C-alpha cells in the first residue's frame, strides 16, 4: 500500500510503473500488454503518460492495450462510451497503433456476446497475458464492472450494473434512467491473472470502500477483496482515500 499526500504524485508513480514496463519490453524487442481502466481516477495517469510521450519521447508503438469494460449497449461514438473516453484521455495523444487497442464492443447483438467475450479472453492469453492491469474501484467494491456477487473464477462476460454504480454514472449520461443497465467486463479471474495489478483510489469518497476492500473479509460481496489474495497487487491511494485504514 502506498499513500500519497497529493493525487498527482500517486498518478505520477503509476504512470512511471507503466512506462518502465513499456521500456523494459522495448529493450528486449517485445510488446507490453497493458490493461487499462476508465473513470475519473486514472485520468491523471493518462495525462502523465501523454507528458512522458511528448516531453520524454516515450513511445507506445510496442504497446497492446486491453480495456477492462464497456457499457452495453452503447455506440463507440457516444460521448459516454469508454471508447470515447480512452480516445479523448489517451489514445488520440500518443503514437499507439490503433490495431493494438482492444475495448469491449458495446454494439453486439445479445446472441453474439458470449462468443465475443470468449475471444476477448483468448486474445489476452494469445498475447502472453497482461503485464499490468490498472484498476479503479467503484463504491460497491467493483473492479472493472464486477459488481457484488461476481465470482473469483469469473471471466469476460455481460453483467448487470448495480444501482449505486448507475447512480454514480448519472451525471455522465444526464440522468440515471439514461445509464445503460448492463456492461461487458473482464472477469475477476481475468484481472487477477495479470502479472501485476495496480488498484488506484483517490478522494474521501473512496475511503469507506477502500477500508473494506483492504481490511475486510474476502467476499464476493466486495469483489475488490479478492485482490487481497494476490502478492502482485499494489494499492495506490491518496491520503483521503486511505483515511480509514
Q: Which residues are catalytic?
A: 147
Shortest separation between residue 218's beta carbon and ligand GLP, angstroms: 19
Residue 110, Cβ density class (10 Å: 0-12 exposed, 13-18 middle, ≥19 buried)? exposed
Residue 175, Cβ density class (10 Å: 0-12 exposed, 13-18 middle, ≥19 buried)? exposed
d(CA 55, CA 184): 35
Instruction: Establish if 69 lies at the interface with ligand GLP (CB under 6 A).
Output: yes
Instruction: Establish if 138 lies at the interface with ligand GLP (CB under 6 A).
Output: yes
Residue 59 or residue 80: which is nearer to ligand GLP going by CB? Answer: 80
Return the bridge partners of 222, or none: none
Residue 58 or residue 242: which is nearer to ligand GLP going by CB? Answer: 242
Say if CB 172 and CB 74 are below 8 A apart. Answer: no
d(CA 120, CA 126): 10
Residue 25 or residue 47: which is nearer to ligand GLP going by CB? Answer: 47
Shortest separation between residue 67's beta carbon and ligand GLP, angstroms: 9
Residue with cell 472477469: 187
Instruction: Establish if 144 lies at the interface with ligand GLP (CB under 6 A).
Output: yes
Of residues 177-236, which lie at the interface with ligand GLP (CB under 6 A)?
none
- Member of 65, 146, 165, 225 binding ligand GLP (CB under 6 A): 165
Stretch that binds ligand GLP, among 113-121, 132-140, 170-178, 220-228 (CB under 6 A): 132-140
- Pairing state between β 157-160 and 63-67: unpaired
Give CA separation, 52 vs 19, 56, 61, 89, 238, in Å: 8, 5, 14, 14, 22
Residue 37 or residue 63: which is nearer to ligand GLP going by CB? Answer: 37
Q: How many other CB atoms are found less than 10 A from the CB of residue 22?
A: 23
- Member of 44, 104, 106, 136 binding ligand GLP (CB under 6 A): 136
Residues 6+ apart with CB under 8 A from 176: 166, 167, 169, 170
Instruction: Establish if 162 lies at the interface with ligand GLP (CB under 6 A).
Output: no
| Total number of residues that touch ligand GLP (CB under 6 A) | 13
Residue 13 or residue 59: which is nearer to ligand GLP going by CB? Answer: 13
Residues that bind ligand GLP (CB under 6 A): 37-41, 68-69, 136-138, 144-145, 165
Amino acid at each position: 500500500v502506498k499513500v500519497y499526500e497529493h493525487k498527482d504524485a500517486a498518478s505520477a508513480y503509476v504512470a512511471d510503473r507503466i512506462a518502465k514496463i513499456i521500456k523494459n519490453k522495448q529493450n528486449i524487442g517485445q510488446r507490453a500488454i497493458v490493461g487499462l481502466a476508465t473513470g475519473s481516477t486514472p485520468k491523471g495517469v493518462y495525462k502523465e503518460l501523454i507528458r512522458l510521450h511528448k516531453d520524454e519521447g516515450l513511445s507506445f508503438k510496442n504497446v497492446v492495450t486491453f480495456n477492462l469494460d464497456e457499457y452495453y449497449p452503447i455506440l463507440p461514438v457516444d460521448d459516454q462510451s469508454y471508447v470515447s473516453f480512452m480516445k479523448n484521455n489517451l489514445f488520440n495523444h500518443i503514437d499507439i497503433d490503433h490495431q493494438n487497442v482492444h475495448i469491449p464492443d458495446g454494439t453486439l447483438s445479445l446472441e453474439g456476446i458470449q462468443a465475443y467475450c470468449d475471444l476477448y479472453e483468448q486474445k489476452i492469453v494469445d498475447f502472453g497475458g497482461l503485464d499490468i492491469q490498472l484498476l479503479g474501484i467503484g463504491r460497491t467494491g467493483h473492479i472493472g464492472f464486477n459488481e457484488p456477487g461476481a465470482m473469483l473464477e469469473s471471466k469476460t462476460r455481460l453483467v448487470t450494473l448495480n444501482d449505486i454504480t448507475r447512480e454514480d454514472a448519472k451525471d455522465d449520461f444526464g440522468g440515471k434512467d439514461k445509464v445503460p443497465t448492463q456492461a461487458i467486463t473482464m472477469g475477476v479471474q481475468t484481472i487477477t491473472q495479470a502479472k501485476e495489478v495496480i488498484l488506484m483510489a483517490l478522494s474521501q469518497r473512496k475511503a469507506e470502500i477502500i477500508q473494506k476492500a483492504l481490511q475486510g473479509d474476502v467476499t464476493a460481496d466486495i469483489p475488490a477483496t479478492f485482490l487481497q489474495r494476490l502478492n502482485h497487487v499494489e494499492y495506490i491511494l491518496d491520503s483521503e482515500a486511505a483515511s480509514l485504514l
